């Protein structure tokens, strides 16, 4: 198969290549949530059954959250360990992950069976309809029995994908979904089991997916489950929890939103009248909102798939410093997902009745009326939702994980939950409260636009700096008689990166900074975003930042290989220590006065002046701890370097010239002279 060129390949083609499998997998996963709703809606249970399954739905999301916590965490640690060629840790990541999945699935099952009344109350509010409550209880108890199969199967599915078998993982998911589609009508209509039948069909599908994943464990590609690998390892488990935390939190935000909405409609549904003068009650809003959320999930699956398709392209080119291509990819992702949002908006506004009738016919006028309100108001901001989701993923791909998480939480929790509670409490109307969703979308979109604009300004400044260097520096015709490697360590804000770029052009050699990230990712299988996020973070607990010696070792091997092959300039990454035994290396340390560093980070990095000094101190302290952690040396000690220069004295261009002259003047043994 021809290797994809993320740096030069056609962006639209690359996104299709990455996005289509993601979209298919996400839509298949969504079928588990929507198939039961459709068949139940056409059964004798009708809207009561749909309301019941919507009450239970948050509990199944919690189960999925635990599965992803362990599954994603174990899979990521497994990939990192394989990349670092640490077979023992790779096996332990799988073994400990499997044990954690088993333990958590049993715990959640027992918890659900013992406290089902409390669970229904939390997620359904005061259910005044006895029929609805009984359906919810029936559905929950059966679903609980299948939780071990569901949680373990979902978790192992991620591990199988990471083991290099994505088609097998997809087959396991498809098998469960297809069996559910086939068995639902049999149990619901033929055996006349209604909601209970839907639950049984779902559990059987989960068991089949589970069985297929267990079969895979007999002959995996890169790992082996042994007695040693399943022994509890506190450090491994902490790493798993740290790596899977993001996926876990994402799922919990959904749980909170659904729980709050369900409780509000249960409370105020009996105070809201339809246009015919009949109260909506609690069952109609619970059923309709549940069905709307399932349809909404299909649209968002496509949006997320497109975003996932763009993430590796953005991440790769950020690491390579190709800012123009980063911006092009971002615009492409936003345009495509904006179009998807527009299509969904048109469908929801024009055909709400037709869509809701998929979930059953013979619905009351009040049911249809509330469904129209739900699609037109509750989902009225879907275009903005699509753009917010896209921006969140783009920020993550650019290495701004914190901003990405904040944006997701702002829209889904911080804005929407208080607004729903406030508007519902004031209006006591389950129609009026839907505007909270639109307001949250507007506020979230404003924040996402500001965050994205900030990132684009940074990219523009990087472009300007790069163009200035290209225009003002004439590449010297000087040739190195022999191979030479120059390593540059530098204070944050000293301009060391640009000194290195200039020097490399003057010497006619290659320059390595962010390029080392790309080479390490390609050689050892790390995610580019993972490397960018975790470099220089050893001052914090390893399990929190997901940093261990394997990443440093991998980057060191890349640096050693570069130094072996060619003359070059290498910035950062403890390169002077990594190459300490070589005689063809000159080590430079660059520093600067605080006022100059502040001006530089404000003008070039977009940092606010009032925050600049603290940020400079924080990053330099981080670099010092990182250096000491791996070298047991003091980062800014002059004895570790051949030359230390205050960049302020002459500026970046003349500093580069000083270093070049240093190489030229001193005929160091085993190091090149310059003509």
Reference 614, options 628, 594, 634; nearest CA is 594
Buried b (16+ CB within 10 A) or exposed e, 7-30: eeeebeebbeebbeebbebbbbbb
Q: Is the pLDDT of residue 543 over 50?
A: no
The CATH number assigned to the domain with range 474-665 reads: 3.40.50.300
Higher-confidence residue of 483 and 175: namely 175
Q: Is the pLDDT of residue 252 over 90?
A: no
Q: Is the pLDDT of residue 256 over 70?
A: yes
Q: Is the pLDDT of residue 547 over 60?
A: no
pTM reported for the whole predicted model: 0.65
Q: Note the pLDDT of residue 341.
A: 95
CB 144 within 8 A of CB 202: no
Determine the average pLDDT of the residues in 560-566: 89
Structural domain boundaries of the chain?
A: 1-41+278-472, 43-271, 474-665
Reference 461, options 497, 490, 486, 410; nearest CA is 497
Reference 490, options 319, 620, 659; nearest CA is 620
Q: Is the pLDDT of residue 353 over 70?
A: yes
Task: List pLDDT tens digits, range 156-166.
Answer: 987 887 777 77
Task: List pLDDT tens digits, range 331-349.
Answer: 999 999 999 999 999 999 9
Q: Is the pLDDT of residue 540 over 50?
A: no
CB 147 within 8 A of CB 59: no
What strand order describes the sheet that includes 485-490? 510-512, 568-571, 485-490, 585-591, 643-646
Calculate the average pLDDT of the chain. Answer: 83
Task: List pLDDT tens digits, range 67-105.
Answer: 988 987 888 778 667 755 678 888 898 999 999 999 999
- Residue 321 pLDDT class (50, 70, 90 cuts): low
Q: Is the pLDDT of residue 546 over 50?
A: no
Q: Note the pLDDT of residue 80.
A: 64
Q: Is the pLDDT of residue 171 over 90?
A: no
CB 623 within 8 A of CB 470: no
Q: Note the pLDDT of residue 466.
A: 53
Q: Is the pLDDT of residue 263 over 70?
A: yes
Determine the average pLDDT of the residues in 456-484: 58
- Residue 387 pLDDT class (50, 70, 90 cuts): very high
Give the integer Cα–Cα distance in Å for 406 and 447: 10
């Amino acid at each position: 198969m021809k290797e994809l060129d993320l740096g030069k390949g056609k962006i639209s083609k690359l996104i299709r290549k990455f996005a289509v499998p993601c979209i298919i997998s996400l839509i298949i996963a969504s079928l588990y949530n929507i198939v039961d709703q459709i068949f139940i809606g056409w059964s004798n249970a009708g809207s009561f059954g749909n309301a019941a399954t919507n009450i239970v739905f948050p509990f199944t999301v919690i189960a999925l959250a635990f599965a992803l916590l362990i599954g994603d965490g174990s899979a990521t640690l497994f990939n990192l360990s394989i990349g670092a060629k640490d077979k023992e840790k790779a096996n332990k990541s799988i073994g400990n992950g499997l044990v954690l999945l088993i333990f958590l699935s049993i715990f959640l099952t027992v918890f659900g069976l013992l406290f089902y009344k409390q669970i229904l109350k939390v997620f359904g509010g005061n259910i005044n309809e006895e029929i609805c409550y009984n359906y919810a209880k029936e559905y929950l108890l059966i679903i609980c029995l299948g939780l071990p199969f569901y949680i373990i199967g979902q978790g192992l599915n991620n591990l199988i994908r990471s083991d290099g078998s994505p088609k097998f993982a997809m087959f396991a998911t498809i098998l469960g979904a297809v069996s559910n589609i086939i068995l639902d009508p049999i149990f619901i209509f033929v055996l006349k089991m209604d909601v209970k039948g839907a639950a049984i069909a779902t559990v059987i599908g989960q068991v089949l997916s589970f069985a297929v994943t267990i079969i895979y464990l007999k002959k995996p590609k890169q790992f082996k489950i042994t007695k040693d690998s399943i022994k509890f390892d506190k450090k491994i488990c902490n790493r798993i929890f740290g790596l899977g935390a993001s996926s876990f939190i994402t799922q919990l935000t959904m749980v909170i939103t659904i729980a709050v909405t369900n409780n509000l409609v249960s409370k105020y549904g009996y105070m809201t009248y339809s246009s015919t003068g009949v109260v909506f009650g609690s069952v109609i809003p619970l059923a309709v909102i549940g069905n709307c959320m399932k349809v909404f999930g299909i649209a968002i699956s496509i949006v997320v798939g497109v975003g996932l398709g763009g993430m590796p392209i953005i991440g790769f080119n950020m690491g390579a410093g190709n800012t123009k291509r980063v911006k092009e990819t971002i615009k492409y992702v936003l345009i495509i997902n904006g179009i998807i949002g527009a299509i969904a908006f048109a469908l929801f506004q024009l055909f709400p009745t037709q869509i809701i009738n998929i979930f059953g016919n013979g619905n009351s006028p009040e049911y249809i009326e509330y469904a129209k309100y739900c699609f037109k108001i509750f989902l009225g901001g879907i275009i903005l939702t699509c753009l917010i989701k896209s921006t969140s993923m783009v920020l993550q791909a650019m290495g701004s994980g914190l901003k990405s998480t904040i944006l997701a939480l702002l829209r889904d929790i911080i804005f929407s939950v208080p607004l729903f509670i406030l508007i519902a409490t004031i209006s006591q109307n389950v129609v009026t409260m839907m505007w909270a969703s639109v307001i949250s979308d507007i506020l979230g979109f404003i924040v996402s636009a500001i965050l994205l604009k900030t990132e684009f300004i940074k990219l523009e400044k990087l472009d300007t700096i790069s163009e200035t260097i290209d225009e003002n520096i004439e590449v010297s015709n000087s040739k190195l008689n022999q191979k030479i490697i120059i390593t540059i360590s530098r204070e944050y804000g000293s301009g060391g990166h640009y000194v290195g770029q200039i020097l490399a052009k003057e010497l006619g050699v290659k320059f390595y900074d962010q390029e080392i990230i790309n080479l390490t990712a390609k050689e050892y299988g790390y995610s580019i975003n993972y490397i960018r996020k975790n470099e220089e973070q050893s001052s914090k607990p390893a399990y929190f930042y997901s940093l261990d010696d394997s990443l440093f070792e991998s980057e060191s091997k890349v640096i050693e290989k570069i130094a072996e092959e060619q003359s070059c300039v290498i910035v950062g990454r403890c390169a002077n220590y990594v190459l300490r035994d070589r005689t063809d290396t000159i080590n430079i340390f660059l520093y600067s006065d605080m006022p100059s560093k502040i001006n530089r980070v404000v003008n070039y990095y977009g940092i606010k002046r009032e925050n600049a000094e603290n940020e400079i101190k924080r990053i330099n302290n981080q670099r010092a701890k990182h250096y000491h952690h791996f070298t047991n040396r003091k980062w800014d000690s002059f004895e570790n370097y051949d030359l230390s220069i205050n960049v302020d004295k002459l500026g970046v261009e003349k500093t580069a010239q000083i270093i070049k002259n240093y190489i030229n003047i001193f005929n160091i043994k085993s190091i090149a002279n310059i003509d």
